Amino acid sequence: MSLAGLFNQRWPGVALFDLDGTLVDSAPDLAAAVDCTLEQLGRKPAGLEQVREWVGHGSPVLMRRALAGKADWEPASAADDALFDDALTLFYNNYRQLNGKHAVVYPGVKACLESLSKRGCPMAVVTNKPEQFVSPLLKQLELDHHFKLVVGGDSLDTRKPDPGPLLHAMKALNGSRGTTVMVGDSAADVSAAQAAGIPCVAVTYGYNFGRSIQALGADAVVDSLSELL
Q: Which of 37, 128, 191, 194 binds ligand PGA (CB under 6 A)?
A: 128
Name which of 127 and 194 has its Cβ closer to ligand PGA. Answer: 127
Site for ligand PGA (CB under 6 A): which residue of 6, 13, 15, 21?
A: 21
Residues 62-121 that bind ligand PGA (CB under 6 A): none
Q: Which of the stretches 20-28, 39-47, 136-144, 157-165 binds Mg ion when contact is defined by CB under 5 A?
A: 20-28
**Active site annotation includes 18:** yes
Q: At what angle do helices 131-140 and 78-98 cross, to 10 degrees?
A: 20
Q: In the sheet that 14-17 helps form, which strands lie side by side, from edge to edge?
A: 149-151, 123-126, 14-17, 180-184, 200-203, 220-222
Span 23-62, contacts to ligand PGA by CB under 6 A? 55-59
Contact 37, 221 (CB under 8 A): no
* Choice from 50, 127, 180, 208 touching ligand PGA (CB under 6 A): 127
* Per-position x/- string for 140-179, each x denoting binding to Mg ion as judged by CB under 5 A, each - no binding: ----------------------------------------
Provide the minimum distance between the beta carbon of 70 and Mg ion in the complex, in angstroms, as a whole number.
20
The verdict on 163 binding ligand PGA (CB under 6 A) reads no
Binding partner of residue 146 among ligand PGA, Mg ion, none, CB cut-off 5 to 8 Å per kind: none
Count other Cβ atoms within 10 Å, centred on residue 96. 12
Quickly count: other Cβ atoms within 10 Å of residue 40's Cβ.
14
With beta carbons less than 8 A apart as the criterion, state whether 156 and 126 touch. Answer: no
Residue from 7, 13, 15, 18 binding ligand PGA (CB under 6 A): 18
* Cβ–Cβ < 8 Å for 18, 184: yes
Residue 25 touches which member of Mg ion, ligand PGA, none, C-beta under 5-8 Å by kind: none
Q: In a 10 Å sphere around its CB, with 0-12 CB exposed, 13-18 middle and 19+ buried, how is residue 49 labelled?
A: exposed
Among 13, 15, 16, 20, binds Mg ion (CB under 5 A): 20
Q: How many CB atoms lie within 10 A of CB 151?
A: 23
- Say which residues have a Cβ less than 8 Å from residue 163's Cβ, sequence separation at least 6: 192, 193, 195, 196, 197
Rounded Cα gap, residues 223 and 205, in angstroms = 6
Member of 13, 16, 17, 21 binding Mg ion (CB under 5 A) = 21
List contacts with Mg ion (CB under 5 A). 18, 20-21, 185-186
List contacts with ligand PGA (CB under 6 A). 18-21, 55-59, 127-129, 153, 160, 186
